[in-house]
Structure 1
């Protein structure tokens, strides 16, 4: 259904109704590191993979927490660096996929330099191949060339580059058990990816076409999925949207909404998908004419965000007055600088106030 997508580096994208058979064909005769979530481990996936496919799983990592922490990944490197890993199989949500991608790079080295997360860090050779099976629909980590690492102690966020998976396997049936938040927040992350690639200094015709595909799919499929959680067609559409949005930001990277989101996740444990999406409508209203987003898409986005009432979701984590009082408008330049609009302190204040104190005025 997806076929093969030609990028600057090889990426095969597959859809399957039989994950085990697909894995068997791809991983035969390889030493495999399985990175997954505790819930999939408890459900018996490591044993099932070995017994029903014959895959040689040399180690299992199943204790990945949301927003992968630097210290935890460094501990995993110490634990796993003696293993002869030939391929990393990642089965889980965005944090699992990002962790697997980071480990695929870390495990090519016996020791890590202090600045291993810095852009200027030099690595010997390519990362270990990664096969990514997303079990949520939103982060796009299964197709992007970067992975996010957090350091809550130092209040920092890092992005490790050049770690695109070699294969992405989509199995929509794995997403049927997701609850509302597990469905909503990743989908909002994908919507943010799509919009941020449109109001981006690095926007191209290719990234634009991919972003608009993602927006159309999300605006149609997200309400259906929230209303009918077992609607497999809608679940499939959300995974496709996440892929297209991920491919869009693979070219442009993210921008202002993500730059705003990082301190909110670090300071208030606000889920990433919510933190990077509650400002979208206000940003769109701020300089809509500059972004050249087609009107029919703008109307759909506004209708969706109005219905979701994200300012109410935000108040579960921090009050509007506290957020505004504490927010530092000196944003991460690696993302904010990609934004094609106004990132002045005044503009950021307007965006936050509109996002927090109104849902339908924008």
Structure 2
């Protein structure tokens, strides 16, 4: 078996580590930074705290970002970077601010719109400004990946964009930043972590280091996600879910995601399911289907986690979705039976090619119609 592993992001993990921000920036000789965050952080004082921790090394805030960041968000952010001669970017938040900042930190070195890159008409060169990622949810793992998932609302397209430039210089993972995350976001982002771990493991491009990381991350999710959901102030559960999110990001970053993520894009674009909830919608089904692959890897994975087999693990995933009030049926998601065929067509995304079991349109239709 031939394989390759790379992880250039320097990771700082621990309680209250964000308070060391000034020393980190000073050691890096970073100046005139831009804080990229969601509007809620600009409104609730969290952004000002980050500016205080930077002791003047971050000078501006960009918060014009929506969930599932758009190409317009990236274009606007890059414009702010250009006009203010910004030296580095710090992204604070979930996947949306981090993904926006990743793309903007490279786009700012051009005069282009990100649309040209999102449409794969152009590829980035090596020039970019440095990025520090500070996640506030236990979900995307975007702080350690080279992928930015963007939406072009003008043509209804949500798709990942990858570049070596997108690896942050540093990831500062401070579990205290997740203590105020609402219950349903905790659930959705936590199930995204589980999707990353499982899909990274069973991806056709799986490899030993990422396999080990996937196993570790999944074990933490099964043990701590429901605890974090029930009691958001449980610092042990929050810390373990932050660890799971980071480790799962490492687990899928190179193998890439598979069927559940492919199907998640239209579920988010059309039916507005949050990303993690959209991934989880099909995750237990793909667990059962992928366990049918001849090598038996998925069953072995489940057994190492203490389950009888992959079907038992899939049952637990379904239980988690019910217990945390996730959407589990077509009716829950607002999908009419006559829309299933189109949904299946839109789910035929390149990520689907990574799935160990081949899924064609008819298979996807059968899958979606099973969610009664």
Change (3 A) 1:316 1:80: farther
Write the mapping of 1:176-215 to structure 2, written as runs, cut at 5 A.
Answer: 176-215=179-218
CA distance in 2 between counterparts of 1:276 and 1:320 reads 19
Matched, 1:13 2:15: no
Deviation, structure 1 residue 160: 2.1
Look up the SS of the partner of 1:268 in the other structure.
coil
CA contact (8 A) 2:139 2:189 kept: yes
Look up the SS of the partner of 1:48 in the other structure.
helix
Change (3 A) 1:134 1:156: same
CA distance in 1 between counterparts of 2:55 and 2:104 reads 23
**1:136 maps to which residue?**
137
Deviates more, 1:253-262 or 1:101-110: 101-110
CA distance in 2 between counterparts of 1:327 and 1:335 reads 15
**1:338 maps to which residue?**
354
Write the mapping of 1:278-357 to structure 2, written as runs, cut at 5 A.
Answer: 278-290=281-293, 292-293=297-298, 294=300, 295-296=302-303, 297=305, 298=310, 299-309=312-322, 310-312=326-328, 315-319=331-335, 321=337, 323-329=339-345, 331-354=347-370, 356-357=371-372
Change (3 A) 1:52 1:352: closer
Look up the SS of the partner of 1:133 in the other structure.
strand
Deviates more, 1:306-315 or 1:84-93: 306-315
CA contact (8 A) 1:108 1:124 kept: no
Change (3 A) 1:75 1:285: same
Q: Deviations over 1:186-227 (max 9, x none)?
A: 111111111111221101111211111111010001111122
CA distance in 2 between counterparts of 1:52 and 1:9 reads 27
CA contact (8 A) 2:7 2:144 kept: no
CA distance in 1 between counterparts of 2:13 and 2:195 reads 24
Deviation, structure 1 residue 52: 4.7
CA distance in 2 between counterparts of 1:219 and 1:160 reads 30
Superposed CA RMSD in Å reads 2.3
CA distance in 2 between counterparts of 1:323 and 1:229 reads 37
User: Could you list the runs of 5+ residues in structure 2 that have no partner in the other structure?
Assistant: none
Number of aligned positions between the proteins:
351
Write the mapping of 1:208-223 to structure 2, written as runs, cut at 5 A.
Answer: 208-223=211-226
CA distance in 2 between counterparts of 1:91 and 1:49 reads 9
